[in-house]
């Protein structure tokens, strides 16, 4: 009978996986866009983000029954279930990621059936007409009341934000430094309400129920409404939904006296989750939750801890040791099973996560319980004062631990994204080792040794490789150059938004597994071209910065040097550099243009420089190297004519344009060129191993 149920669960799960993959394919081909009327009525579902300059909401358009992202380029204050009328300036499809390592918001929202966005530029183009009274509105008001109470009881802004995020998924922003501490220490997951937090709430409810003296197997009838209330309080977010389903599945197994069949219950919970949301299978959140829970189940089976020994009141030392052992086993198992997925999705692994989780995870549960008590009892005279002191002290201790583990330069390691096949092989190999370990304990040492090898992903190249990637940033510029001797050169680094440029550049560096920037070359004194450099310098080790020649006065040169750490050498560009056979020539009296030669490839980076700052044509008209030219402005006839004169002989293999395509504007001059790339459509990479290859991410 057990095997029959297992087979049935397997085939049902396989069917749901097939449906999920099919739906994921459908998301790549969204439904045909329809023409919209000039005004659209709809309901605000929730606020996604915003600051003093913009606001973003999720809107359900009433007549169309279609979800839209509503982007307001001004601060707007709408609440869930508000009814509005919108006069959109523009309706467009969500933009796909245009750079390697860039997060794809299009795929993220496609899983939520959101394919288009409305752009609003003025407050008068959106009108609030009222609101709907329903459960979503009620729970939104409850969240607002809880947030106001936290503001009164926890004065520190960052600690207040941490408490709100851990209790009910508050949207309050956290300082960038604090966020980096959480990332480096490997405990960022405690700020996202998920299975850990639902487990804390269920444990507290189970303890309260046990005080009634009723048989514990009936706890499901008490905990179900509690968990459903908490689920709605956290806006029914996907992680909380999955955690609630899984917790209720285990409670059901406990009620049916099937608590020993942990793995079967886990599989049943997965089936329920995929029934309600079969697109979750391809999401990072579901995969990480699945891997962590599976690791906990298998880890406990390998290193079992006797519950009676944990609760032994007569041998306190042994009880404490077993409690520590259970926390270490749970943390180690979850870390090992989620390691390849974390490397794949985030490009960074924490080297101190095991130690940090041992101390912080139990403390996080105490914070959740104390915060819940504080918002409920904080107004009582004596109890409230005691709770405020204890809660603020516990939050301060949590902050001290997170800052301690996350402040070190070795806390986290940037790794290159592993291929999917390597991840599959890792899990298969891990499951085989676990199976062998269950049969014979002597294999445990082998398991630890093998897993330790996977903890240090190595970036290896069999052949010397040169790669030059022009990132798609709109106005501004960033190009990343990897030399044959494993140096990394960043050319400029900026865009209209400093945060956007930093996010794109650091995402690409993580994608490539780059941990340091050896040289930064600034080609112009336009801050738009290098506004992301201060943040990148804080994150990556930088040896030297080459400044543009246009900055002539020593006062300006010294001013720039003061903004960078003293360990970085700042200087004017040399005439020539050589990196293991790769030649780099600098030209220009006002701004910098570059000529790069390696093997059978020559790249000219002209950018916005004037014609007099371009490399002399006779330098590259006498050999057979493949020529690639990057240039920014094709706006006037004079500049395009200058470029057409430059490329008459030899004809370049490709031109990389940062703005409009020159071939569309001047077809006669550029018709002989085989390929013309527009960076507005995606990043362009020139990869040289033996022969140069150029391709674009679209």
Topology annotation, domain 466-696: Metallo-beta-lactamase; Chain A (3.60.15)
pLDDT at 29: 53
pLDDT at 75: 87
Label residue 346 left, alpha or beta by phi (over 0 means left) and psi (-120 to 50 means alpha): alpha
Q: Which residue has the tokens 């604090």?
A: 178
pTM of the model: 0.78
* β-pair type (626-631, 601-607): parallel
> C-alpha angle with apex 526: 495 to 571, nearest 5 degrees?
110
492 and 477 Cβ atoms separated by less than 8 Å: yes
**What residues have CB less than 8 Å from 674, skipping those under 6 apart?**
653, 654
pLDDT at 30: 57
CA Rg, the chain, in Å? 29
Residue 232 has pLDDT above 50, yes or no: yes
Type and span of the H or E element at 108: helix 105-110
pLDDT in tens, 471-484: 988 777 888 988 88
* β-pair type (626-631, 654-657): parallel
* β-pair type (626-631, 684-688): unpaired
Type and span of the H or E element at 130: strand 126-131
429 and 340 Cβ atoms separated by less than 8 Å: no
The rounded Cα 506 to chain-centroid distance in angstroms is: 11
Type and span of the H or E element at 207: helix 195-210
- Greater confidence (121 vs 561) lies with 121
Q: Do domains 40-132 and 466-696 have the same CATH topology?
A: no
User: Residue 460 — pLDDT band, cuts 50, 70, 90?
Assistant: very low
Specify whether domain 40-132 bears CATH 2.40.50. yes
pLDDT in tens, 503-522: 888 888 888 888 888 888 88
User: Residue 456 — pLDDT band, cuts 50, 70, 90?
Assistant: very low
pLDDT in tens, 586-621: 887 777 888 888 877 888 887 777 777 777 766 655
pLDDT in tens, 252-263: 888 887 766 777
Domain boundaries, the chain: 40-132, 138-418, 426-454, 466-696
Mean pLDDT within 436-449 = 58
């Amino acid at each position: 009978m057990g095997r029959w149920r297992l087979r049935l669960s397997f085939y049902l799960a396989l069917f749901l996986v097939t449906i999920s993959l099919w739906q994921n394919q459908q998301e790549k081909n969204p439904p045909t866009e329809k023409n919209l009327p000039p005004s659209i009525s709809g309901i605000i579902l929730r606020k996604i983000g915003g600051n003093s300059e913009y606001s973003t909401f999720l809107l359900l358009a009433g007549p169309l029954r279609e979800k839209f992202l509503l982007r307001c380029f001004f601060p707007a204050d709408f609440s869930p279930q508000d009814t509005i009328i919108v006069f959109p300036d523009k309706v467009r499809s969500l933009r796909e990621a245009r750079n390697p390592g860039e997060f794809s918001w299009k795929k993220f929202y496609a899983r939520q059936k959101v394919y288009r966005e409305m752009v609003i530029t003025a407050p008068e183009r959106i009108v609030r007409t009222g609101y709907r009274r329903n459960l979503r509105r009620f729970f939104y008001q409850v969240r607002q009341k809880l947030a106001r109470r936290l503001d009164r009881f926890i004065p520190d802004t960052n600690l207040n934000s941490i408490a709100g995020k851990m209790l009910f998924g508050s949207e309050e922003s956290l300082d960038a430094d604090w966020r980096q501490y959480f990332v480096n220490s490997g405990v960022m997951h405690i700020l996202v309400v998920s299975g850990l937090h639902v487990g804390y709430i269920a444990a507290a409810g189970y303890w309260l129920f046990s005080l009634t003296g009723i048989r514990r197997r009936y706890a499901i009838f008490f905990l179900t409404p509690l968990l459903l209330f908490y689920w709605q309080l956290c806006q029914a977010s996907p992680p909380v939904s999955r955690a609630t389903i899984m917790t209720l599945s285990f409670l059901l197994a406990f009620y049916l006296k099937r608590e020993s069949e942990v793995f079967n219950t886990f599989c049943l919970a997965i089936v329920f989750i995929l029934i309600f949301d079969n697109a979750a299978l391809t999401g990072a959140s579901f995969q990480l939750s699945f891997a962590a829970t599976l690791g906990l189940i298998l880890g406990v089976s390998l290193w079992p801890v006797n519950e009676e020994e944990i609760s032994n009141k007569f041998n306190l030392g042994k009880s404490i040791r077993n409690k520590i052992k259970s926390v270490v086993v749970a943390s180690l198992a979850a870390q090992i099973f989620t390691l390849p997925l974390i490397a794949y999705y985030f490009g960074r692994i924490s080297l101190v996560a095991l130690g940090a989780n041992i101390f912080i995870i139990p403390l996080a549960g105490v914070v959740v319980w104390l915060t819940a008590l504080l918002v409920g009892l904080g107004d009582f005279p004596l109890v409230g004062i005691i709770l405020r002191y204890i809660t603020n002290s516990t939050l301060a201790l949590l902050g001290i631990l997170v800052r301690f583990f996350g402040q070190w330069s070795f806390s986290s390691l940037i790794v290159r994204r592993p291929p999917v096949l390597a991840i599959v092989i890792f899990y298969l190999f891990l499951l085989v080792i676990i199976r062998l370990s269950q049969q014979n304990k002597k294999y445990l040492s082998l398991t630890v040794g093998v897993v330790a090898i996977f903890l240090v992903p190595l970036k290896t190249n069999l052949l010397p490789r040169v790669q030059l990637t022009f990132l798609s940033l709109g106005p501004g510029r960033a190009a990343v150059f990897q030399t044959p001797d494993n140096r990394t050169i960043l050319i400029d680094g900026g865009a209209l938004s400093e945060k956007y440029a930093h996010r794109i550049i650091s995402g690409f560096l993580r994608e490539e597994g780059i941990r340091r920037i050896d040289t930064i070359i600034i080609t112009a004194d336009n801050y738009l071209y290098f506004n992301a450099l201060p943040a990148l310098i804080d994150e990556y080790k930088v040896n030297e910065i080459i400044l543009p020649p246009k900055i002539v006065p020593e006062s300006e040169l010294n001013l720039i040097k003061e903004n960078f750490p003293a360990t970085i050498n700042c200087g004017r560009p040399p005439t020539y550099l050589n990196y293991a056979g790769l030649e780099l020539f600098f030209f220009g009296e006002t701004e910098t243009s570059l000529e790069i030669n390696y093997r059978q490839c020559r790249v000219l980076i002209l950018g916005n420089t004037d014609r007099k700052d371009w490399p002399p044509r006779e330098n590259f008209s006498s050999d057979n190297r493949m020529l690639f030219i990057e240039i920014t402005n094709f706006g006037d006839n004079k500049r395009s004519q200058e470029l057409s004169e430059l490329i008459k002989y030899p004809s370049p293999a490709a031109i990389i344009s940062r703005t409009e395509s020159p071939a569309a504007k001047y077809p006669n001059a550029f018709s002989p060129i085989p390929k013309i790339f527009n960076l507005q459509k995606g990043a362009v990479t020139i990869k040289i191993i033996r022969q140069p290859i150029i391709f674009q991410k679209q």
